[in-house]
Structure 1
């Protein structure tokens, strides 16, 4: 909820103030500080959909929901505007229960009461995201058109405001007030998106040019264009039926105290497979809700100007059953007698070998400790058995890194969670990066057997990571933000000075390397 986010900000500021006042020098032996990262608040989103001519909202709304949730930074609910006129009169979403409203709607007008409530929400500091044809909606609603900045169709013309475009000869955005209708597009095709403001929080860390997969390239959008900031454009090529102009693709506006992100990408399910659509959507949504973007940079290899990068969000959970543990291609990565081939990084927890088992033991005052393979792995299947003392959180790192130029060598990367049930064992966490959970929805809480050996199987292939705990499928995520190559690491988590000691045990650690995608 928006109020929860404001409370979170207040609590952080208060904590910083108290830290300045209370953390005074003390006498006595120095102990390593236990690292305590403040987790980011999860942003609550309400998607509003319903009638949307020429757009299959029943297909695209679930894709938008999954795209946001799989980023690990959002929880999402969906409400559908009723088709029945009488029911629509009483349609009144509780806007203030959410941090952000996202529109995938282009149908009949809401009631005056609902429109007024929406204006109050946004102008009072609420966040709004308009996706694709949402900028076609409500042509006669002045406040809405001020929010989206520019829109198309619905009888829009010069009376509604100027065309807004990038002009190459002057290298800036210009407003064209010549007469003409608002809204057009050529045939669907892949097109190059060009970032015009690489310093904005949304576009910072993205390549300056990248291809969006087959999509509608909206053109001739016009509107009030108040407080409109164009982040990226695309050339509407006459050969595809376009205007010959560099048209706005990604935009922001301000309406009162509210922030709005407007993307014209995302015509259909095919368009929403574009990594260009997905990455700019999650960044724009986070900025609208918080004013900042904490996603990692995206490399040109992932978001390319040479080919249209795609990721099918609806494919997650399909195919690839749990790997079999049979076969001679499994290779032991622990020899059962000593820690040859492993190196400890971070922390002062201890690791020893007893009866073909690696035993990790907590140390007071120590940050998270990791026993890491000296070999890196890219695409692979990993299996191990683990037993953990009640009260201790642990995990196994995959494809992880430790570099001097990143937090002084802090181990970071995807972590497969280990903890007593009920808990989040088997889900994927982004250790040391500030991203928090890579797995957005974590509903399986009882796959782990307390005080017993538990069999884990992990499959990492391309950007996809799948996990099974004691035969139960737990996580299935696409993670384009983490490295696809790195070490395996056994974590002993930090503990409080009044806790422990605790131990965690691993055995039968094996890897089967796969051909990289």
Structure 2
């Protein structure tokens, strides 16, 4: 009898979990960029660093950061898959921040940065989890579109370049990074690094994970 009761309780538990599981399995990719404007994005100083041309976000100018501030998940992401198509030009540097928060100026003080850089003087190359798990190899070329993706689930961060895993990092439980550089929650930001750097972004997508 006790065994039957236990099995019944387990069945009820699984039944209650199933709709939630199906919800995440069926979660669709959400576009964060409409290809026409910067609606849903917010930038502080040096806003002229970002503009939209031919369906892409063109990043070129003084140091600035473009934060996603739109309706998708109320621009507050925790566990997710993110992907974007990126093109760099020779000598250019940029980055994609996650678990960050809007600030008017300066380098974002919250969240991690994923590097975008194939030929800049900074040796940390595309796909690096900046200053945490850095990539020295160059996997893609300037002047060519490639896909950069970020998956965060729990304490694990996976970064891929054209479906090739270049970083698989699990944040230690006792991590204590200054300035909020740790897994938490927040939005995304694209980096304008310097006037000599030009980078294009398009097809910016995200979907939630449990």
Answer whether TM exceeds 0.5 for this pair.
yes
Is the CA contact (8 Å cut-off) linking 1:463 and 1:484 kept in structure 2? Answer: no
User: Residues 156-305 of structure 1 correspond to what in structure 2 (within 5 A)?
Assistant: none
Q: 1:464 to 1:396 in 2, by over 3 A?
A: same
Is the CA contact (8 Å cut-off) linking 1:379 and 1:514 kept in structure 2? Answer: yes
Under a length normalisation based on structure 2, what TM-score does the superposition of the two structures give?
0.72
Is the CA contact (8 Å cut-off) linking 1:402 and 1:409 kept in structure 2? Answer: no
Under a length normalisation based on structure 1, what TM-score does the superposition of the two structures give?
0.31
Q: CA deviation at 1:348?
A: 5.0
Partner of 2:55: 356
User: Residues 477-492 of structure 1 correspond to what in structure 2 (within 5 A)?
Assistant: 477-479=169-171, 480-481=175-176, 482-492=182-192
Is the CA contact (8 Å cut-off) linking 2:93 and 2:198 kept in structure 1? Answer: no
Partner of 2:164: 472
CA distance in 2 between counterparts of 1:402 and 1:411 reads 8
Is the CA contact (8 Å cut-off) linking 1:416 and 1:426 kept in structure 2? Answer: yes
Partner of 2:76: 376
State the 4+ residue runs in structure 1 displaced beyond 3 angstroms: 345-349
Q: Please give the per-residue CA displacement for 1:93-148, whole angstroms capped at 9, x wherever unaligned.
A: xxxxxxxxxxxxxxxxxxxxxxxxxxxxxxxxxxxxxxxxxxxxxxxxxxxxxxxx
Q: 1:372 to 1:403 in 2, by over 3 A?
A: closer
Q: Does 1:453 align with 2:150?
A: no
Q: CA deviation at 1:461?
A: 1.0
Q: How many residues align?
A: 168
Kindly report the root-mean-square deviation, in angstroms, between the aligned alpha carbons of the 2 structures: 2.3
CA distance in 2 between counterparts of 1:328 and 1:380 reads 10
Q: CA deviation at 1:450?
A: 1.7
Considering fraction of residues, name the structure with more strand.
2
Q: Which has the larger radius of gyration?
A: 1
Q: CA deviation at 1:448?
A: 2.0
Partner of 1:417: 115
Partner of 1:426: 127
Is the CA contact (8 Å cut-off) linking 2:94 and 2:191 kept in structure 1? Answer: yes
Q: Which sections of structure 2, spanning at least 5 residues, go unmatched?
A: 1-25, 70-74, 177-181
Q: 1:461 to 1:328 in 2, by over 3 A?
A: closer
Partner of 2:199: 504
Is the CA contact (8 Å cut-off) linking 1:400 and 1:489 kept in structure 2? Answer: yes
Q: Which has the higher contact order (CA 8 A, sep 6+)?
A: 2
